[in-house]
Structure 1
Amino acid sequence: MRLAGRTALVTGATSNIGRAIAVAYGAEGAHVVVTGRNAERGEAVVAEIRAAGGKADFVAADLDGSPAAAQQLAEQATAVLGGRIDILVNNAGALDGAGTTTIDEAAFDTVYAVNVKAPFFLVATIAPAMAAAGGGTIVNLGSWVARLGVRGGTAYAASKGALETLTRAWSAEFGASGVRVNAISPGVVHTMADHPAAGMMAGTPGGDVGHPDDIARAAVFLASDEAKFVHATTLDVDGGRIGVATFAA
């Protein structure tokens, strides 16, 4: 129960990595606000956490990148969690696989709105409240493609690079006030072992697609007191994708 007595807001928590993090936080004793656009899926995650003996609630949110949407979610989550948010996980994301010459402006703006602006304005609202309450923890979800170039998905890669940079900037800005800020950089992660993107993990030490639970365990560590001396760090949980060179057979 490493998060017993703490409160957590997990964005994009209705599926895949976000769902796994929310479930893991609930199992470790945190009261979790599950948020996303799909109420049916969100309530299913809440039911899963409660069935295991945890505490969770769903708050619907469409994080469109606007300060108003971030402010509304922060206020609603704070109220549900009894007046404070101890842990914020910026997991909600938008992916567009188009390249530089093919992506249109609307798609580009959506990627940056969800992946950069939404976390930015959530942190702008929540981090000062954490500091005023004596401290807190922020965990951002980056991506291995932020540092290892691949063809396609250039706006997505750039947005995740921005979020990893913000992780360090926010640590400098809020760390002295007791707010720890770190990031996780997942490799290709999915519940499907034969996911179409599995080829991107070929030749890595991990050898295959990771499971959302792999990321959730790292998110628990970063949110817990075990990581109290970990600041401004991007933790690669990617099967060795970034750290080890691969070669064609």
Structure 2
Amino acid sequence: MGSVELAGRVALVTGATSGIGAATAALLAEGGAHVLVAGRDRARGEAVVAAVREHGGKADFVAADLRSAQGARQLAREAVAVAGRVDILVNSAGIFPFGPTADAADADVDAVYDLNVKAPFYLVAALAPAMAERGHGAIVNVSTMVSEYGVAGMALYGSSKAAVNLLTKAWASEFGPSGVRVNAVEPGPTRTEGTAAMGEALDALAAQAPAGRPATAEEIAAAIGYLVSDAASFVHGAVLPVDGGRTAV
């Protein structure tokens, strides 16, 4: 996993206690950023922090429960209290329940939209204005390839991430003139702790793409690292497929 140059910057990564979020935290820290590892599980979060520090990076765990507006705003306040500011925000926290539309309970619908849509909305609302005042910042939202096309059983998850794609473009328009770049990545099937339960279904989904295999969390993190780095200085409002080519065919 190649590093990016982020010395002196502060990065808040949600959902950073495992999977894509943890891989992203490791990559940004390797590039010199002070990474704030946000998540609900303190033990897993501290393990990510310890791994970063073991490799010479700078990281702190920040407890976060993003299932409410109050929790998202509290995370923003605590992140600033710990590090003084946030220069990079990676909205990686999310849930992805699959199943028939008619089987989705009211609580499931609320949970998906609370975490996948509302939490990024409230975090950007809390943190992007200060980035704009300083004249620089980078935000990356983690979406999904199934926000681009219809898949039976993925209406709830896919629609929540389709909302994230539109938010990405709207925020690029809103904050870009002040120097804050907002972009998104759309991962395809990725091997993480969260997708382990999918078993052979993950491989079957991945087989439909030209790459023919699932991604590693590090491959998705590399795309995020590019988007938050100065190498992407002219990239605003992009929704980047990192799906092995699935949405291209």
TM-score normalised by L of structure 2: 0.94
Q: How far does residue 195 in structure 1 lie from its aligned partner after superposition?
A: 5.2
SS of the counterpart of 1:98? Answer: coil
Q: How far does residue 105 in structure 1 lie from its aligned partner after superposition?
A: 0.8
Q: 1:48 and 2:51 equivalent?
A: yes
Instruction: Call closer, same or farther: CA 1:195–1:30 in 2, change over 3 Å.
Output: farther
Cα distance between partner residues in 1 of 2:94 and 2:200:
19
Amino acid at match of 1:141: V
Cα distance between partner residues in 2 of 1:180 and 1:43:
29
Cα distance between partner residues in 2 of 1:146 and 1:241:
12
SS of the counterpart of 2:241? Answer: strand
Within the candidate set 79, 82, 89, 1:80 is matched to 82
Q: 2:6 maps to what in 1?
A: 3
Q: For 1:12-56, what per-residue CA distance to the aligned partner results, in whole angstroms no more than 9, with x for missing partners?
A: 000010000000001010000001000000000000100000000
Amino acid at match of 2:237: A
Q: 1:110 maps to what in 2?
A: 111
Q: Is the 8 A contact 1:195 1:209 kept in 2?
A: no
Equivalence map 1:78-227=2 (5 Å): 78-81=80-83, 83-191=84-192, 196-227=201-232
Q: 1:240 maps to what in 2?
A: 245
Q: How far does residue 153 in structure 1 lie from its aligned partner after superposition?
A: 2.3
Instruction: Call closer, same or farther: CA 1:111–1:131 in 2, change over 3 Å.
Output: same
Q: How far does residue 203 in structure 1 lie from its aligned partner after superposition?
A: 3.8
SS of the counterpart of 1:123? Answer: helix
Amino acid at match of 1:37: R
Cα distance between partner residues in 2 of 1:195 and 1:124:
39
Q: 1:229 and 2:231 equivalent?
A: no
Q: How far does residue 194 in structure 1 lie from its aligned partner after superposition?
A: 6.0
Q: 1:16 maps to what in 2?
A: 19
SS of the counterpart of 2:94? Answer: coil
Q: Is the 8 A contact 1:65 1:116 kept in 2?
A: no
Higher helix share: 2
**Residue range with higher mean Cα deviation, 195-204 or 84-93:** 195-204
Cα distance between partner residues in 2 of 1:195 and 1:163:
28
Q: 1:69 maps to what in 2?
A: 71
Cα distance between partner residues in 2 of 1:52 and 1:195:
34
Cα distance between partner residues in 1 of 2:175 and 2:101:
34
Structure 1: 5+ residue runs without aligned partners? 245-249
TM-score normalised by L of structure 1: 0.94
Cα distance between partner residues in 2 of 1:150 and 1:45:
33
Amino acid at match of 1:80: V
Cα distance between partner residues in 2 of 1:90 and 1:135:
18
Q: How far does residue 201 in structure 1 lie from its aligned partner after superposition?
A: 1.3
Cα distance between partner residues in 2 of 1:194 and 1:206:
18
Q: For 1:222-245, what per-residue CA distance to the aligned partner results, in whole angstroms no more than 9, with x for missing partners?
A: 01100000000011111011102x
Superposition RMSD in Å:
1.3
Greater than 3 Å deviation, 4+ residue runs: 191-196
